[in-house]
Structure formats: C-alpha cells, structure tokens
Amino acid sequence: MAIEARSITKRFGDYVALDDVSVHVPDGCLTALLGPSGSGKSTLLRVIAGLEAPDAGTVLIEGDDVTRRPARTREVGFVFQHYAAFKHMTVADNVAFGLTVRKRPKAATRARVAELLELVGLSHLGKRYPSQLSGGQRQRMALARALAVEPRVLLLDEPFGALDARVREELRAWLRRLHDEVHVTTIFVTHDQEEAMEIAEQIVVVNEGRIEQSASPAQIYDEPATPFVMSFVGPVTRIGDRLVRPHDVQVLTEPRDEGEQAVVTRIARLGFEVRVELLPPEGEPLTAQLSRAEFEQLEITEGQIVQIRVDPTGVTKEPASA
C-alpha cells in the first residue's frame, strides 16, 4: 500500500475540516479525491503532503510513518492549482530546483531537466520565464518540477482548476497518458466528477470532512453507497421517495400493473438523447432520459399521459439510505 491515511482529524479553530478520515491508495494507482468545495479534500491532500499537521491520525507513505515529518522529508511531489511557479527563475531552473537544493552535480541536473522537459513537451521553452507561458504550459512545468526528484508519490491539488475548459480536457488526457508512462502513485483533488470518472482508477468521494465512498469509477456510478454519492456523481431524479437515475426511468405508452401515471410536461431533444419531463398527479416533477431510438419508438408528445416505472433491469443499485 503506497499511501495510507488513518483516522485523520483536522480542525481549524471550531471548524472540523476532516473527521476521522481513512484512505488507502495502492501502489502505482491514480486516485481522485472527489468532492464539493469545502468538503475537506484539499486539506486531506495537504495533510498527506505534510503541508498541514493533523490533530489526530497517522500518515504512512510506503509503510513509513511520516506523520511527524515535515513536507521536505516525505519525498512527495506536489502540484498546486495556481502553479506556484518560481516567477523569478527560468522554466529550466524551476524544474531543476529540487535537484539544485540537493546540491546535485550540474551536468546530471541539466540532463535530468532536459529529459523531463521533453517528457512534458516543453523542451523548447527552457529559457523562458513562467510569465511567458500559458496556464497549461505552466502546469506541465510544475509537474516536471515535481517529478524531477523522483518522488514516491505525486499529489495534485485541483491541477486543472485554473485552466480553460478545452485546455483542461487536453491536460486531463495528457495526465492519464503520463501516469501510464511514469507509474508514480498519484492522488489528485477535483470537484469535477467527469474529470474523476474519466481518468481515475480509484475515486474517493469526500463530503463535509468525511469519506462517503471509496471505489472504482464504475462502482461509484452503478453502486453508490449514499444518496450524496449518487447525486454528486451523476444525474438523479426522484420517483416517490426513491432516488433514481433518469436513464433508469422507463416511459411506457401501454398501461402495465406496476408503475404510475404521469403527464409529459416537456420534451427536450439534446442531440443524441432526449430528456422528458414528467409530472405525476400527486408528487414532484421528475425527469426521464431516453435514447433517440427509444424516444422515436414511443412517439410521445407533450401533454400526453404515460406510465412510468423504474427499469427493473436498470444497472444502478440504489444507495442504502435514500
């Protein structure tokens, strides 16, 4: 087990940021800490890095108890949301920094820097200053800088949060490829569930200082442990007092025994899928998501009364407490 956080509690004054939180990250795994703002995910990352000291609990990296050790000695690579570039140094000097402070021989340092710059695609920018780089380039520099000293683990704090949507997507895929190549145990913090689902091998969902679930992306989506996880990670709608995924809502034009009636209040065609808003006679409005094919087969119109039921063969398992 490369990273283990056991029973971490962290308070800021009266505010409890982390409440008895435990996380395991296997060797070489790319894990996402996913949660809304203020959930404590960044705090947890910083506790693992040694940038914050927990009030209780232990942190182990590759079996070593590093809880009382400063960040400097933990051999962690940390990447900040706003890059934390050393503005007064060139890109090359930034990347070399960890090696420079360890007094490595200059030739070896230069070689390693060149190697890393090539890895992240910034070879031709070594002599520039961070202010002359785009946001995406700066973040790649930050990654190269963190990797230069061969850290045991790589920690990224909302690494793409400050970037444009398009750059974010590019870097997301790029990070995944980088991880496949370099295989460092990595944890990254994000509030974007799509990002987590797309690249992580393991997702840890954090909310209000507690872990809601820790599983693979498929399990998180199909077998959410709590209502929070279910609604955070994908779309949800309510039928009666059940929490259901809109694509698990079946719309039927012929009456059946189970299921209830509802009026179609709105149909929105969204390209490849169709969203149908329905209103049952007593109850809250709900949404069903149909594929184009399903929709065209049904031939329903607004105002029509239809039957709705939860697809019994639907994949999503309901959370324990709905």
Which positions touch another protein (CB under 8 A)? Answer: 49-51, 70-72, 74, 76-78, 80, 82, 84-89, 97-98, 101-102, 131, 142, 145-146, 148-149
Closer by beta carbon to another protein, 72 or else 166: 72
Cβ atoms of 236 and 221 within 8 Å: the answer is: no
Place of tokens 């402070």: 101
Task: With CA atoms as reference, report the closest residue to 122 among 78, 149, 85.
Answer: 85
Q: What is the DSSP string of 165-181?
A: HHHHHHHHHHHHHHHHH
How far, CA to CA in Å, does 288 sit from each of 207, 255, 266, 268? 27, 17, 11, 11
Give the nearest distance from C-beta 127 to another protein in angstroms.
16
Nearer to another protein, 10 or 245 (CB): 10
> Least separation, in Å, of the C-beta of 317 and another protein?
40
Give the 3-state secondary structure of residue 91.
Answer: helix
Upper half-sphere CA count for residue 260 (Cβ side, 13 Å): 13
Cα–Cα nearest to 30, from 164, 144, 169, 195: 195
The single-letter code of the amino acid at 217 is P
Taking the least distance from each CB to another protein, the nearer of 97 and 174 is 97
Q: Which is nearer to another protein, 47 or 288 (CB)?
A: 47
Instruction: Give Cα 242 to chain centroid, integer Å.
Output: 26
Nearer to another protein, 56 or 162 (CB): 162
Nearer to another protein, 157 or 248 (CB): 157
